[in-house]
Structure 1
Amino acid sequence: MGGRRPRTGHDWKLLAEACTALLERLPELVDEHLRQLTEYSPVYGQVLPYDQQWREAETAMRVGIETITAPRDSPRRDLQHAEEAGRRRAQQGLPLELLVHAYRAAGYLVWDALLESAVGREPERLAALMRSATMVWSAVDAQATIASEAYLATERELRRRTDERLQALLDALLEGQEAPGLAARAAAGLDLPERGPYAVVVLRAERRDGREAFPRPLLGAGLRFIWRMRADCEIGVVALGPGQGLDAVAHLLDGRCSGPGGISPVVSGLAELGRARRMAELALRTCPPDATDVVRLDQRMPTALVVSQPELAGRLVADVFGTLLELEPADRAVLLETLDAWLACEGSAGRAAGRLYCHRNTVFNRLRRLEQLTSRSLARPRDLIEMTLALDAYRLAGGGAAA
């Protein structure tokens, strides 16, 4: 690497003499190099103290000059030094463009100094330098390339570690941990306000028709989503913008998810994300097995109460639908489908009949039979509540009533 060629004979002798003389001027060259860098960008002077920057620049230029006249089969100390420098500069936060510029600037400075040493002397010294130009600049290019590659590799590793730390902070918030300063550290790392309106979305990990279950990427005016993948779901933290509410979240998710999901109520800060996640998971549990929509907990409160108490839900189904459950599956499904349609149509038998493709009198007859089997009246509010909740519990348990 570097395109070095065999260096023998008179050219080699003249080049070695020029490089030896140049090393005696090294402090002067380093001073000029650092002056040029800070003139080009003040960032150079902000990364390191001047004394440390001077020592590192002196070492880099010394190694580079010595490499020009090093034997062909000797180790490339300049490339090793460039790799180490690239890693250090990435860790220190110096922009890559400034790292490459520093190598180019040092190369020009050394080359100009070599040419200056040949001016006014025997013409063959200048000719020997010109014949070495390709080799010298190939070495500078190789150093800049190695430094850049090391810089980018280190930058990727630093970004990975940073991402892992931020993900750990976000996971801790979603788990409801209450460590001191946790929300503040997460806010700073994720560039989010510590206080402000947030919601959490939980999407079930399913695929239908070969489509991804999760809407990625997902952006909306005034909304920012941060997603975390889990084994059985994906969790989205939603930072709500001014004037944005859950309607905006639901609208953005609608039609973009092939699997069901739940949306939590709005909470007032990052420290409350654990509670929001639990509420979003509860909202998801109100979705029947074959559901594909994303639902809001604040619009599923009765059903959420049912699913949060599975033992009582099972008892409710048995008490309300006990006799009904003894019917043939097809007969039972027709009655429960009719009840579900009637409830969805807000108690309108005519609209339910249109949905079920039957006569409205058929709807009335099925509902009367349902009342007889359950010993309850759909005209009594308490009985209606029991039957509605029992239907939700039955459906969520996989009973198969149509939605």
Structure 2
Amino acid sequence: MGGRRPRTGHDWKLLAEACGGLLEGLPDLVDEYLRRLAAHSPTYARVIPHDQHWQEAQEAMRIGIEAIRAPRASPRRDLEHAEQLGRRRAQQGLPLDLLVHAYRQAGQLVWERLVEESSSRRPERLAVLMLSATMVWRAVDEQADTVSEAYRSTELELRRRTDERLKALLDALLDGDRSPGLTSRAAAGLDLPEQGRYAVVALRVERRDGREPFHRLVQGSGVRCVWRMRADYELGVASLAADTGLDALAELLGSAAPGPGGVSPVVAGLAELGRARRLAELALRTCPPDASGIVRLDRRMPAALVVSQPDLAELLVSDVFAALLALDPADRAVLLETLDAWLACEGSAGRAAGRLYCHRNTVFNRLRRLEQLTSRSLSRPRDLTEIALALDAHRLTSSPSGTT
């Protein structure tokens, strides 16, 4: 079985002459190339200015033809040029499939012209050209691979920079930055309305336990959330549809959040996210360490007042619960649990007894003892307010883990 004959010096000379003929007619070749690209997709013309495209195409084809004429040249200028062009097209936003198509179209056009020139003028060149077909298309493949790799790496870098810029914009909004133009830049970058219904969510999240990611959970629900991690909790900026309330948001996120969370009141635009973030964090601080679910700040106002003033909360606890805290821990826990159940049941001793699995008279006895220890009456509104606030203060500020 005979093998392909090796190329001689005469063969290389004939190939160089054929390539030289293409270089002489390069402007016409470039015009035909751009016509083919325009027929394939109008995106080329939209993304790349015509004069720039013509000059770049002329340079790329010239370098490519010279690479065929001198395939052993080092360094490979055709690959260097392909790498530069791949970066440039990624920055311009030309789709990668169109970029690869353009490179292969250029290779096809150059090959067609080489065959035409060899067939019509110097038939002896055609045999030489057929010997070089593998080399030519290998070079085209290498150029396409190089331009693709450069494009992808540049695209990843651009995406990383964009992500970092968007995170910085969101952080600035959440920190209450009022710099001119910040909200308009953030609205454009995050694809959020500058004015609209927003709430901030603060979630104490340690693990997801295989649960559905938050950004997937809210899809198609009238809520769009953008998330940022802080040191020990996660912040979400929720853009709410006109008919979506805070209860719906709390229920939606509560089904996915393994830990407690707080929701701010609704604010009217991106400029108010700093205030909303502070209020969401305050709502989260009203949740005991072992709590679960999402709470609304506007429904936890007394507890929020307590945790926002730790010094006063400490004074309130010592003033109201001094005698109670001196009891044996087990005895103290029973009285505090009874008070908590009675308040949760809106002052119904019967319902509290059902929750505590005891007789209603037992509830009454425990509450009377608590009144004696605190020197306050649960039937007097002012005393009841102090006792309820003291209970929140004791529950939320007595342990460092209860703070955010």
Please give the TM-score of this superposition, normalised by the length of structure 1. 0.93
1:43 is aligned to: 43
Report deviation, 1:393. 0.4
Residue 6 to residue 253, structure 1, CA distance change in 2 (3 Å): farther
1:313 is aligned to: 313
CA distance in 1, matches of 2:194, 2:388: 40
Report deviation, 1:300. 0.2
Report deviation, 1:108. 1.3
Q: Give CA deviations for 1:181-238 in whole Å, capped at 9, x if unaligned.
A: 1111100111110000000001124349x67897464324110110001112111000
CA distance in 2, matches of 1:205, 1:214: 12
1:357 is aligned to: 357
Letter in 2 for 1:291: A
Report deviation, 1:19. 0.8
Report deviation, 1:158. 0.8
CA distance in 1, matches of 2:12, 2:322: 102
Equivalent residue of 2:235, what SS? strand
Report deviation, 1:98. 1.7
Letter in 2 for 1:32: E
Report deviation, 1:397. 1.8
Q: Give CA deviations for 1:241-263 in whole Å, capped at 9, x if unaligned.
A: 12001011101112311111111
CA distance in 1, matches of 2:44, 2:82: 17
* More moved, 12-21 vs 365-374: 12-21
Q: Is the 8 A contact 1:338 1:363 kept in 2?
A: yes
Matched, 1:201 2:204: no
Q: What pairs with 1:141-220 in structure 2 (closer than 5 Å)?
A: 141-207=141-207, 215=214, 217-220=216-219
Report deviation, 1:116. 0.4
2:69 is aligned to: 69
Q: Give CA deviations for 1:150-190 in whole Å, capped at 9, x if unaligned.
A: 11111111111111111111110000010011111100111
Report deviation, 1:120. 3.5
Matched, 1:23 2:23: yes
Give the length in aligned residue pairs. Answer: 395
CA distance in 2, matches of 1:121, 1:277: 77
Q: Is the 8 A contact 1:201 1:262 kept in 2?
A: yes
* More moved, 270-279 vs 84-93: 84-93
Residue 366 to residue 340, structure 1, CA distance change in 2 (3 Å): same
CA distance in 2, matches of 1:55, 1:211: 54
Q: What pairs with 1:107-146 in structure 2 (closer than 5 Å)?
A: 107-121=107-121, 123-146=123-146
CA distance in 1, matches of 2:63, 2:203: 57
Equivalent residue of 1:152, what SS? helix
Q: What pairs with 1:376-395 in structure 2 (closer than 5 Å)?
A: 376-395=376-395
Which consecutive unaligned segments of at least 5 residues does structure 2 have? none
Letter in 2 for 1:281: E
Q: Is the 8 A contact 1:353 1:363 kept in 2?
A: yes
Letter in 2 for 1:110: V
Q: What pairs with 1:249-268 in structure 2 (closer than 5 Å)?
A: 249-268=249-268
Report deviation, 1:52. 2.2
Report deviation, 1:8. 3.5
CA distance in 1, matches of 2:377, 2:245: 38
Q: Is the 8 A contact 2:202 2:281 kept in 1?
A: yes
Q: Is the 8 A contact 1:218 1:225 kept in 2?
A: no
1:235 is aligned to: 235
Q: Is the 8 A contact 1:118 1:125 kept in 2?
A: yes
CA distance in 2, matches of 1:321, 1:193: 49
Which consecutive unaligned segments of at least 5 residues does structure 1 have? none
Matched, 1:103 2:83: no
Q: Is the 8 A contact 1:204 1:259 kept in 2?
A: yes
CA distance in 2, matches of 1:110, 1:300: 74
Report deviation, 1:9. 3.8
Q: Give CA deviations for 1:12-53 in whole Å, capped at 9, x if unaligned.
A: 232122111111111110111122222322222233332222
Q: Give CA deviations for 1:376-401 in whole Å, capped at 9, x if unaligned.
A: 1111111111111110000002369x
CA distance in 2, matches of 1:352, 1:56: 81
Letter in 2 for 1:196: G
Report deviation, 1:121. 4.6
* More moved, 252-261 vs 305-314: 252-261
Equivalent residue of 1:74, what SS? coil
Q: What pairs with 1:265-344 in structure 2 (closer than 5 Å)?
A: 265-344=265-344
Residue 6 to residue 256, structure 1, CA distance change in 2 (3 Å): farther
1:248 is aligned to: 248
CA distance in 2, matches of 1:124, 1:271: 75
1:78 is aligned to: 78
Equivalent residue of 2:379, what SS? coil
Q: Is the 8 A contact 1:6 1:72 kept in 2?
A: no
Residue 55 to residue 142, structure 1, CA distance change in 2 (3 Å): same
CA distance in 2, matches of 1:213, 1:36: 47
Report deviation, 1:293. 2.0
Equivalent residue of 2:120, what SS? coil
CA distance in 2, matches of 1:98, 1:335: 74
Please give the TM-score of this superposition, normalised by the length of structure 2. 0.93
Letter in 2 for 1:63: I
CA distance in 2, matches of 1:342, 1:6: 99
Letter in 1 for 2:378: L
Equivalent residue of 1:119, what SS? helix
Matched, 1:222 2:204: no
Q: Is the 8 A contact 2:307 2:397 kept in 1?
A: no
Letter in 1 for 2:192: L
CA distance in 1, matches of 2:68, 2:6: 11
